[in-house]
């Protein structure tokens, strides 16, 4: 009789509870697919008394999660604690050092320490799995690492944060402003009490840096991701975008070229005929363009108990089958170091929104700055005076170097006609 895969589970929040439920509910099917049963032996979390809606009395409780890796009756450890460092990282290091397989949903830890952990897994001839770290239940890690392994990937991009997508699409449907919708998202559990990692784009940047490594065979370089969140998107931006045939989405975009690796998370205007424009609510989606396979489009729920638990257990099934392989599709020593590509020479269209004083000459001042910087205007919308005596001016440029747009904004710095900081969003033209 084949021995079961014996696992320890560290972290019993929403996802941890989901893993227990999934292993219980689909036990027979999982055993058939894995070739053996997957059994939880020990668990660890901060609070023993919390009701998690599942019977945990069957498992041995360990107060210190870092002790799980030392147990002789454990073959693999699942880490669902979270955090780039601290107990999660200690557990990862000790587990791999002891030659045990390690599964995590921790995108921050993989983005910051993935190369170290992948090298440790290779040295110990064991598995580091992290399907649940990017886009929840969408099998995008497997898709890039295995399904598209024979392709040169031109670029990879997508909607990588469900909280931001929920906020933006709700603003789009209901015409409400950011702060109001964020409060509602927090009340519904779509956003954390401190939503900074989500709305400031950091969560999406963690995921993008991981996707870049898989897509291009480059070392993880989270530090070079240019990050702008959605805090300053207003309802008027979404309305203006709609009037010009776009929808606003927070998009993570990466590509490798002879100039280096370019990675950016930024609110973008997405044309209505692009599939990302129709990804709504808390859904995630990832697009990869392969030179032989063409466009690959992955869409689904990017977070939550069921989808994330599904990805964790899929990794455990791989481990039970003995399917290991390098964490980033090739040995760490084979990953390239392309360096970061500067954004200035990139060419594209951008959306610019100004809040300005309602007086003669302001439009001429802005357009003169754009002319002098070499920025050509493709379209413009002007909204009438607000109650505070200000008007909104929105522009979409023709294709131009990004440095030219930066030059135009520099020329307008300190203008007495402009109220606050202009809003810049890139047009997604891929």
Distance between CA 419 and CA 422 in Å, rounded?
Answer: 8
* In a domain? residue 339: no
In the chain, the number of structural domains is: 3
Q: Which pLDDT score, from 0 to 100, does residue 136 have?
A: 86
356 and 250, same domain (yes or no) = no
195 and 269 housed in the same domain:
yes
Alpha carbon distance 90, 105 (integer Å): 15
| Residue 55 resides in a domain | yes
Residue 337: inside a domain: no
Can you point out the beta strands (E) in 150-200?
153-159
Residue 311's nearest CA partner among 161, 137, 140 is 137
Q: What is the mean pLDDT of residues 348-364?
A: 92
* Residue 116: CATH number of its domain: 3.40.50.720
* Among 164, 249, 264, CA closest to 209: 264
Same domain, 185 and 108: no
* pLDDT score for 216: 97
Query: 285 and 178 in one domain?
Result: yes
Over residues 108-165, the pLDDT tens digits come to 999 999 999 999 999 999 999 999 999 988 999 999 999 999 999 999 999 999 999 9
CA distance 9 to 255: 36
Same domain? For 128 and 162 the reply is no
Active site (annotated) includes residue 173: no
Q: What are the tokens at 179?
A: 């702060």
Residues 131 and 144 in one domain: no
Tell me: pLDDT of 389 over 90.
Answer: no
219 domain-assigned = yes
Across 11-25, 34-48, 183-197, 324-338, least confident range: 183-197
Q: What is the pLDDT of residue 359?
A: 86
232-301-313 Cα angle (round to 5): 130
Torsion of CA 147, 151, 153, 157, to 10 degrees: -20
CA-closest candidate to residue 98, choices 126, 117, 63: 126
Task: Please state, for a pLDDT cut of 70, what percent of the chain lies above it.
Answer: 99
Residues 302-319 pLDDT 10s: 888 899 999 999 999 999
Residue 269 placed within a domain: yes
- Are 14 and 85 contacting, i.e. CB atoms less than 8 angstroms apart? no
Q: Give me the DSSP letters along 254-323.
A: EEEETTEEEEEEEEEEEETTSGGGG--TTEEEEEEEETTTEEEEEEEE-SSHHHHHHHHHHHHHHHHHT-
Q: pLDDT tens, 70-83?
A: 999 999 999 999 99
Does the pLDDT at position 393 exceed 60?
yes
Model pLDDT, residue 110: 98
Torsion 186-188-192-195 (CA) sign: negative
- Looking at residue 193, the DSSP 8-state letter turns out to be S
Confidence of residue 48 (pLDDT cuts 50, 70, 90): confident
- Residue 25 and residue 132 in one domain: yes
Q: Is residue 330 one of the residues assigned to a domain?
A: no
Reported as a pLDDT band with limits 50, 70 and 90, residue 430 is: confident
> Could you tell me if 152 and 294 lie in one domain?
yes
Contact 76, 102 (CB under 8 A): yes
What average pLDDT does the segment 49-77 reach?
A: 90
**Shared-domain flag, residues 80 and 126:** yes
User: What is the rounded average pLDDT of the residues 289-293?
Assistant: 95
Least confident of 50-54, 245-249, 301-305, 336-340: 50-54
The burial class, CB within 10 Å (0-12 / 13-18 / 19+), for 124 is middle
Q: Which residues contact 191 (CB under 8 A, 6 or more apart)?
A: 163, 166, 167, 182, 185, 198, 199
Please report which confidence band the pLDDT of residue 385 belongs to, taking 50, 70 and 90 as the band edges: low
**CATH code: domain of residue 395:** 3.30.70.260
Same domain for 288 and 199?
yes
Residue for token pair 């030059």? 407
Domain that residue 405 falls in: 347-427
**pLDDT confidence bin for 386, thresholds 50/70/90:** low
Catalytic residue among 100, 107, 129, 207: 207
Inside any domain, residue 372: yes
Q: Which two tokens stand for residue 128?
A: 């580091």
DSSP bridge pairs for 297: 287
Residue 275 lies in a domain: yes
- pLDDT above 90 for 286: yes
Residue 68 predicted with pLDDT over 70: yes
Evaluate if residue 351 carries a pLDDT over 70: yes
**Cα–Cα distance between 103 and 311 in angstroms, integer?**
10
DSSP state of 332: G
Both 146 and 293 in a single domain?
yes
**For the chain, percent of residues with pLDDT exceeding 90:** 83
Residue 212, pLDDT score: 97
Closest alpha carbon to 278 in 205, 351, 169: 169
Q: What is the DSSP letter of 64?
A: S
pLDDT for the residue numbered 387: 61
Same domain for 164 and 133, yes or no, is no
The C-alpha atoms of residue 411 and residue 365 are separated, in whole angstroms, by 10
CA distance 122 to 127: 8
């Amino acid at each position: 009789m084949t021995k079961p895969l014996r696992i320890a589970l560290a972290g019993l929040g929403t996802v941890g509870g989901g893993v227990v439920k999934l292993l219980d509910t689909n036990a027979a099917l999982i055993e058939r697919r894995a070739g053996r049963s997957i059994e939880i032996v020990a668990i660890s979390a901060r609070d023993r008394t919390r009701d998690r809606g599942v019977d945990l009395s069957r498992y041995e409780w360990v107060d210190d999660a870092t002790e799980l890796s030392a147990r002789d009756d454990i073959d693999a450890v699942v880490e669902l604690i979270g955090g780039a460092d601290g107990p999660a990282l200690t557990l990862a290091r000790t587990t791999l050092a002891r030659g045990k397989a390690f599964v995590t949903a921790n995108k921050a830890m993989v983005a910051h320490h993935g190369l170290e952990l992948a090298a440790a897994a290779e040295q110990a001839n064991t598995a580091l799995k992290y399907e649940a770290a990017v886009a929840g239940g969408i099998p995008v890690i497997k898709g890039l690492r295995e399904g598209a392994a024979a392709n040169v990937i031109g670029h990879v991009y997508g909607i990588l944060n469900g909280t931001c997508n929920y906020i933006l699409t709700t603003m789009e449907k209901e015409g409400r402003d950011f702060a109001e919708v964020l409060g509602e998202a927090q009340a519904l559990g779509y956003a954390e009490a401190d939503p900074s990692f989500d709305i400031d784009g950091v969560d999406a940047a963690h995921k993008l840096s991981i996707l870049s490594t898989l897509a291009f065979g480059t070392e993880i370089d989270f530090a070079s991701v240019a990050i702008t969140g959605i805090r300053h998107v207003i309802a008027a931006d979404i309305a203006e975008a709609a009037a010009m045939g776009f929808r606003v989405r927070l998009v993570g975009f990466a590509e490798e070229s002879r100039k280096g690796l370019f990675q950016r998370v930024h609110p973008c205007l997405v044309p209505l005929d692009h599939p990302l424009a129709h990804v709504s609510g808390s859904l995630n989606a990832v697009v990869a363009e392969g030179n032989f396979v063409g466009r690959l489009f992955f869409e689904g729920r990017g977070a939550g108990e069921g989808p994330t638990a599904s990805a964790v257990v899929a990794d455990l099934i791989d481990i039970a089958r003995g399917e290991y392989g390098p964490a980033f599709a090739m040995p760490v020593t084979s990953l390239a170091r392309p360096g970061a590509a500067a954004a200035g020479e990139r060419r594209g269209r951008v959306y610019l929104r100004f809040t300005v004083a309602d007086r003669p000459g302001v439009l001429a001042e802005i357009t003169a700055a754009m002319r002098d910087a070499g920025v050509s205007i493709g379209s413009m919308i002007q909204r009438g005076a607000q109650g505070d005596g200000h008007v909104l001016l929105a522009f979409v440029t023709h294709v131009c170097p990004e440095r030219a747009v930066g030059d135009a904004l520099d020329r307008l710095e300190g203008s007495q006609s402009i109220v606050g900081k202009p809003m810049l969003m890139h047009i997604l033209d891929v």
